[in-house]
Chains A and B, each alone.
Chain A
């Protein structure tokens, strides 16, 4: 192995029930470089990181770090071997100070007592070395997200780090904050730290990275120097085919107004939201994570109470603001997280499908097994849900099929307006195309679709119109024919 190589992966595989998350992954990361790891959601990036961090154990394959075999069994072991991870979600103890968080679990002590002077001094040294303008004694709760992230990075750097892994650190930052982050990354690189950087934002990758590794559906597509590739080629490597074929969008005649949202407010995340949704329309909602898209969906659906504003369906105002009222008025929500919000995992496919429309399978107030089975089989066939039978527990189904079960639950009550929150998150590419076809079929059947998504290509490919949210407000609206990713990102980040 060349001494330029810091990390070498060979033949890494990992399976979960029903999914081959990683399949024979081999690549090298060069010492002192910023190495970008890209791929669609579900491509296997986070599984790979969790293996490097000692959270998962690979089924097969070997890893070498600086010429030594690497097989951490816990994040602590990974850290001892020189690997630190800055996770997407910030994991700090909010009530402790910056310095305490940086040295969490390894406090500076003298005579078995905490040496506060030493703790704060060493934290200050670290903060200074990253040019972070923070005091070690500030309580973390009072920091902004970007500052917290800086603390995370310091924490990661506080042990002897050779390889720093950053999992989408820029996702929730403002443009200005991102600049600070990138400067920090360059500082680290100048100090000889090797960084594996995960991001969905291709611009950043072209600005920062030396090499890029592309994963798709758990397989390695390629590793190459960033200079040898252009944006278009990188996208097609990630997606696996030309974008044109991926979205089965059809032009559908747009009908009357189905849903009208007027000046809806709730807390910091939903501010003065107004829009109209028509029959046959797919309305996209774009925005960064934390821009208030999900909160808006919940407020419209009645899952959370609105502080202000009205929601009208077919001209009728929804006054009670309850989920029951929304269901009666044929509004549906397919939530962001199937497993924790969409499904009762230890119930069967059949029982999940009949959950909302349970009144349809009652005979004299008693659940009729025959009717329930007929209802379930109807959707299993129509939506081509792949399951051995309708009695199977939904937790054993793949992500795409689980999503179809959630959708079936709403189609069973003949919903007119269906709000999809990240409908294809964590679903493999093949199943995505099927979900897209379902969306088009629903629009064709005269339903109104709201599609919230973080994947801009998907929004551009599927939606008729796209609303962009930023810090709880609508910051722009475009027809998808006129939109580009850059234009939408501009609106999502701006101000």
Chain B
């Protein structure tokens, strides 16, 4: 009996951190599971090139999701991000092609536009008090409309070759989009966990009234998260333009949806105040693997849309169920 106890304690010591890690990120099971299934189905799945390929495919959605993560933790939600991707991409393309700007200036202008979209969302949510879903729905329409007005719905082509590295280039055989994505996640992770602002984001989303009465400028914090999300959406749009070598007015259509799935699957609560950026990365990878897997299985893209919708409803349902259980306890 005594020996057995000792054994248990030992094995507990060894497994506890691992179990705790999986407890924090239950989605890791799903990611590993999918990886196993896909490596069985396709021998090339686990090759370096394919892994990089999958990561590059998810990078732009993942960058959106990183911004959405901050917004959600602060208690908001931004469903205009896909339109922001499109608008920023068009501003970036037209800046270079039509308005004769150097690429870096056009990129900065695009990021600025994204920030303005974010501010517009944040202003509606934090200052006016419009429910964030509706506020960003409005922004979504405005930004997409602007994109069509600017382009007459025609794509912008003739981009300088100097920007192509962003979407198609490699650094030490790692695709640039993947490097940018990892950098974004490291920075957002650092900001959310190690800085005063990050702590205030969690506090504002966890309980805005208590945060306000503790001297936190909740409105400012919330607006800032929207601005960051808008800027990141622009970054995503810039990468996309460079990847496609043209500015597409339809770019980013529906991406906000995939970003929300990634964030919720990653364990971020819709109720705010909870979640970690690493979970979001796993969520984005899971969404990417799902798409990749269904494509490999020759699932028609219309059906893929149905599957993704169901995954979102399931993930949100699970989140709400868990919140309710927690509140009951």
Contacts and interface: CB of A to CB of B under 8 A. Distances in A.
B327 to A, nearest CB: 9
Contact of B210 (A344, A365, A366): A344
Contacts of B212: 303, 323
Nearest to A17: B329
A174 to B, nearest CB: 30
B199 A358 contact: yes
Interface residues of B, number: 21
Given A367-B194, A367-B199, A342 B210 contact: yes
B211 to A, nearest CB: 7
B6 to A, nearest CB: 24
B195 interface: yes
A367 B198 CA distance: 10
B2 interface: no
A145 interface: no
A348 to B, nearest CB: 11
A444 to B, nearest CB: 26
Contact of B214 (A346, A355, A359, A362): A355
Interface stretch (A333-341, A382-390, A465-473): A333-341
B207 A333 contact: no
Interface string A351-362: 100011011001
Given A17-B329, A341-B213, A356-B214, A367 B196 contact: yes
Contacts of A335: 210, 213
B273 interface: yes
Contact of A345 (B207, B213, B215, B216): B207
A355 B203 contact: yes
Contact of A347 (B193, B196, B202): B202
A188 interface: no
A409 B213 CA distance: 11
A150 B22 CA distance: 56
Interface string B247-278: 00000000000000000000000000110000
A440 interface: no
A365 B196 contact: yes
A355 B195 contact: no
B210 A340 contact: yes
B209 interface: yes
B12 interface: no
Contact of A351 (B199, B209, B213, B217): B199
A47 to B, nearest CB: 15
Interface in B222-250: none
B273 A365 contact: no
B206 interface: yes
Contacts of B207: 340-341, 343-345
Given A324-B217, A340-B210, A347 B194 contact: no
Nearest to B203: A344
Contacts of B195: 365-367
Contacts of A375: none
Task: Output the residue of A323, A335, A351 with the most chain B CB within 10 A.
Answer: A323
A327 interface: yes
B273 A344 contact: yes
A303 B217 CA distance: 11
Nearest to B200: A358
A327 B194 contact: no
Contacts of A355: 199, 203, 211, 214, 216
A358 B273 contact: no
Nearest to B329: A17
B322 to A, nearest CB: 12
A419 to B, nearest CB: 11
Nearest to A356: B214
Nearest to A393: B326
Task: Output the residue of B203, B209, B215, B274 with the most chain A CB within 10 A.
Answer: B215
A346 B216 CA distance: 17
A130 to B, nearest CB: 37
A180 to B, nearest CB: 36
A323 B179 CA distance: 42
A341 B199 contact: no
Task: Output the residue of B202, B209, B213 with the most chain A CB within 10 A.
Answer: B213
Contacts of B210: 335, 340-344
B20 to A, nearest CB: 12
B209 A341 contact: yes
Interface string B170-188: 0000000000000000000
Interface in A365-386: 365-367
A324 B220 CA distance: 13
B17 to A, nearest CB: 15
Contacts of B199: 351, 355, 358, 367
A344 to B, nearest CB: 4
Interface in A297-355: 301, 303, 323-324, 326-327, 333, 335, 340-347, 351, 355
Interface string A254-295: 000000000000000000000000000000000000000000
A346 B274 contact: yes
B319 to A, nearest CB: 13
A470 B196 CA distance: 42
B209 to A, nearest CB: 5
Contacts of B215: 323-324, 326-327, 356
B213 A346 contact: no
Nearest to A338: B210
Contacts of A362: 196
Given A323-B215, A365-B195, A409-B214, A344 B209 contact: no
B273 A366 contact: no
Task: Output the residue of A301, A343, A356, A358 with the most chain B CB within 10 A.
Answer: A358
Given A340-B210, A346-B206, A355-B214, 17 more contacts: A324-B215, A324-B217, A327-B215, A333-B213, A335-B210, A340-B207, A343-B210, A344-B202, A344-B203, A344-B211, A344-B273, A346-B273, A355-B199, A355-B203, A365-B196, A367-B194, A409-B214
Interface of B: 193-196, 199, 202-203, 206-207, 209-217, 273-274, 329
25 contacts: A17-B329, A303-B212, A323-B213, A323-B214, A324-B215, A324-B217, A326-B215, A327-B215, A340-B207, A340-B210, A341-B207, A341-B210, A341-B213, A344-B206, A344-B210, A344-B211, A344-B273, A351-B199, A355-B214, A355-B216, A359-B196, A362-B196, A366-B194, A367-B194, A409-B214
